[in-house]
Amino acid sequence: MSVVKKAERNATTFAAECLTGLRRAEALRPRIIGEAPRTVDEALTLYNELLTAASASNALAGLMSEVHPDEKI
């Protein structure tokens, strides 16, 4: 039987994880509001990607704030 050690999560690594999604959303915004021609479907696809990235970070932060035993996280 093998024992799998779970990765240690501290406040710094957790913040970095959450910021990754927000940075992804920030990177998508200029592509949505830019002047380049695009179809409605292309614009909505980019917008959906932005919302998904931001929402995932928000959901992770919200969940962990409720269930993680370390208050810093």
Supply the pLDDT for residue 13: 86
**pLDDT tier at 4 (50, 70, 90 boundaries)?**
very low
pLDDT tens string 60-69:
888 888 888 7
pTM > 0.75 = no
Query: From residue 13, how far is each of 5, 32, 73 by CA, in Å?
Result: 17, 29, 9
25-62 pLDDT tens trace: 999 999 999 999 999 999 999 999 999 999 999 998 88
Name the nearest CA neighbour of 53 among 70, 36, 28.
28
Q: In this structure, what token pair is assigned to residue 73?
A: 């996280």
